Chain A
Amino acid sequence: MKAVITGLRRVVALVGLPIVLLLVWWFASADSHTAAMPPLKRILKVFPDTWFGERLTDDVLPSLIRLTEGYCAALVIGIVAGVAIGSSRTVRAFVEPVLEFLRAIPPPALVPILFLIAGIGDTTKILVIIAGCVWPILLNTVEGVRGVDPVLVDTCLTYRVSGLLRLRTFVLRSASPQIMTGARQALSVGIILMVISELKASTDGLGYTFEQFQTRFQYPQMWSGVLVLGLIGVVLSLLFRFVESRVLAWHRGQRAAERTSL
């Protein structure tokens, strides 16, 4: 009986407030005659027709593919360059101020320049995403590689662990919590850039669809788009947390062990 009550309580805690908020939205907007703020009922009514048709394959999918391509490229570039820079004190001191400056540039500011350089095709949109995502990953990798345990550095030397084995089992492992922090920051920047790279001069994608709805005054469809983007954000963050818990399983176990041994 007690288990049932705790379970019930958990469910209420999980879905209680969201349901209350949705109900408030539903009833508060029910009699809305402001064109820009349609009732939630209408937004939900246009939702299936708007998104479960060609738009899913013609707009949502291309956006997500570009995001994935750009994000993965940024991961590879950021980690490779980060390990290279972080491993050498001299290289790090040499490039750090330049990196600090490049990192500080808000990535959206680079969008128009990249449009000029690479035209307005898919390449540009992916470049925009890379240009924004690479910095948090790169700088966190540098920090992570720099902060490796000196005792383990000596251990690797003593046991002649070097080359790829050292990189895989020691350097990347030690830096992985930091790298994941950078990857998480990069993901939210990536979603923003995915949308704004499509707002201007585009023929498909979520950002393009948004722009279309807004200029054609299709407000219920536009708000349903906000819901879609919100859902994408939530799903991607859940996906990220799943990957993170797999990658960092050893780390969490170690932290817990350290805590209990204290």
Chain B
Amino acid sequence: MNPYRSFLSRVGTSPALLGLLGLGVFAVLLEILPRAGVLSSDYFPPTSRIIGALWRELGRPDEQFRPSLLTALSDTLVTWLYGLSIAVAAGIVLGLIIGSLPLLREFTASTIEFLRPIPSVALIPGLIVLLGVGREPTLVIVVYASFWQVLVQVLYGVADVDPVARDTARSYHLGPLRRVRYVIWPTALPYVMTGIRLATTVALIVTITGEMVIGTPGLGDNLYIAYSGGDVPVMYALILVTGLIGVVANTITRAGERIVLRWHPSVRGEVAA
């Protein structure tokens, strides 16, 4: 059998190989099109130049007004994960409290519905005036934007509790804490994970936004500095880095979700039985 054909048919059936091929074709197109003059290489540097710029950025030490790539990366990660953790913790705690008390839930619903769609960027000018241009204003908008994602999902989750399980818990005189632990939490957990996944993406977007617009140190700020200096390959290199962070974050949250959902149906099965 023709080995070339067998390779093609293997690629054709394996999604992973096809995907790799897709990434390869994408990279090659970005290399060829600017070189052939189809895309202007001033604005679309070929892949090799982007990789080269990334390599040089990795080796560049800290400069005044232009931190090194690794410093910027760690600044971004700290702001992002710090804000995300605050938002997740606050969202879960408040969500469980509000969701478990029907009266509280009824009276806060309209306020939540009003505050949630307020775009986080609306707060930026005020925060710059109040908090300056350090990490704090960016942290505030990151927490604000991602908090609602978690809170709303937790509220959905708590509302989804099986009435039979709730009544059973009441019959057995489970205290409030144990009711949360054994009845509400297992039901809400898949929703919590969805909330965390959505919040992770939103938090990264808002972190980069804050760094670009406010000037908080990080990848977004470096990107803006590269833009001001007209250094196009470095801009693409930084965008590549932010995209890679996003991919890693998506992979981690999805894996986390799978681990949680693996035990979840079994617990629900026991509750239902």
Q: Which residues of A contact B (CB under 8 A)?
A: 12-18, 21, 36-37, 90, 93-98, 100-113, 115-117, 185, 188-189, 191-192, 195-196, 199, 207, 210-211, 213-214, 219, 222-223, 225-226, 229-230, 233-234, 236-237
Q: Tell me which residues across on chain A come within 8 A of B43, comparing CB atoms.
A: 113, 116-117
Q: Tell me which residues across on chain A come within 8 A of B107, comparing CB atoms.
A: 12-13, 16-17
Interface residue SS majority, chain A? helix
Please determine whether A108 and B130 come into contact, CB atoms closer than 8 angstroms: no
27 A–B contacts from the bound complex (CB under 8 Å): A13-B107, A13-B109, A36-B129, A90-B18, A93-B18, A94-B22, A97-B22, A97-B23, A103-B246, A104-B243, A107-B205, A108-B205, A109-B220, A109-B238, A109-B239, A110-B239, A112-B224, A113-B239, A116-B43, A117-B43, A189-B205, A192-B119, A192-B206, A196-B212, A214-B128, A234-B117, A234-B118
Q: Tell me which residues across on chain A come within 8 A of B212, comparing CB atoms.
A: 108-109, 111-112, 196
In the bound assembly, the distance between CA atoms of A124 and B199 in angstroms comes to 28
Nearest chain B residue, comparing its CB with the CB of A21: B111
Min Cβ gap B167→A in Å is: 18
Q: Tell me which residues across on chain B come within 8 A of A233, comparing CB atoms.
A: 117-119, 122
Please determine whether B126 and A226 come into contact, CB atoms closer than 8 angstroms: yes
Which A-B residue pairs are the 8 nearest by beta carbons? A104-B246, A233-B117, A112-B227, A93-B15, A229-B122, A230-B118, A93-B18, A105-B243
> Scoring B residues 152 to 179 as 1 if CB is less than 8 Å from chain A, else 0, what string do you get?
0000000000000000000000000000
In the bound assembly, the distance between CA atoms of A207 and B122 in angstroms comes to 9
In the bound assembly, the distance between CA atoms of A214 and B227 in angstroms comes to 23
In the bound assembly, the distance between CA atoms of A222 and B128 in angstroms comes to 12
> Scoring B residues 39 to 64 as 1 if CB is less than 8 Å from chain A, else 0, what string do you get?
00001100000000000000000000
B114 close to chain A: CB less than 8 A: yes
Instruction: Contacts A15-B110, A95-B22, A106-B242 given; indicate if A196 touches B213 (C-beta within 8 A).
Output: yes
Please determine whether A115 and B227 come into contact, CB atoms closer than 8 angstroms: yes
Please determine whether B205 and A225 come into contact, CB atoms closer than 8 angstroms: no
Interface residue SS majority, chain B? helix
Nearest chain A residue, comparing its CB with the CB of B118: A230
B193 close to chain A: CB less than 8 A: no
Q: How many residues of B contact A (CB 8 A)?
A: 62
Min Cβ gap A141→B in Å is: 18
Q: Tell me which residues across on chain B come within 8 A of A196, comparing CB atoms.
A: 121, 209, 212-213
Q: Which of B22, B116, B208 has the most C-beta atoms of chain A within 10 angstroms of its own C-beta?
A: B22
Min Cβ gap A133→B in Å is: 12
Q: Tell me which residues across on chain A come within 8 A of B123, comparing CB atoms.
A: 226
Please determine whether B213 and A199 come into contact, CB atoms closer than 8 angstroms: yes
> Scoring B residues 207 to 234 as 1 if CB is less than 8 Å from chain A, else 0, what string do you get?
1110011000001100110110010100
Please determine whether A113 and B235 come into contact, CB atoms closer than 8 angstroms: yes
B21 close to chain A: CB less than 8 A: yes
B85 close to chain A: CB less than 8 A: no
Q: Which of B125, B128, B223, B245 has the most C-beta atoms of chain A within 10 angstroms of its own C-beta?
A: B125
Q: Which residues of B contact A (CB under 8 A)?
A: 12, 15, 18-23, 26, 43-44, 106-111, 113-114, 116-126, 128-130, 198, 204-209, 212-213, 219-220, 223-224, 226-227, 230, 232, 235-236, 238-239, 242-247, 249-250
Please determine whether A13 and B106 come into contact, CB atoms closer than 8 angstroms: yes
In the bound assembly, the distance between CA atoms of A106 and B249 in angstroms comes to 12
Q: Tell me which residues across on chain A come within 8 A of B232, comparing CB atoms.
A: 113, 116
Q: Tell me which residues across on chain B come within 8 A of A13, comparing CB atoms.
A: 106-107, 109-110
Please determine whether B121 and A97 come into contact, CB atoms closer than 8 angstroms: no
* Given A101-B243, A222-B126, 12 more pairs with CB closer than 8 A: A18-B110, A95-B22, A98-B22, A100-B250, A104-B244, A108-B205, A109-B223, A112-B226, A185-B198, A192-B205, A195-B119, A237-B117
Please determine whether B125 and A106 come into contact, CB atoms closer than 8 angstroms: no
Please determine whether B239 and A94 come into contact, CB atoms closer than 8 angstroms: no
Instruction: Contacts A93-B15, A98-B26 given; indicate if A108 touches B118 (C-beta within 8 A).
Output: no
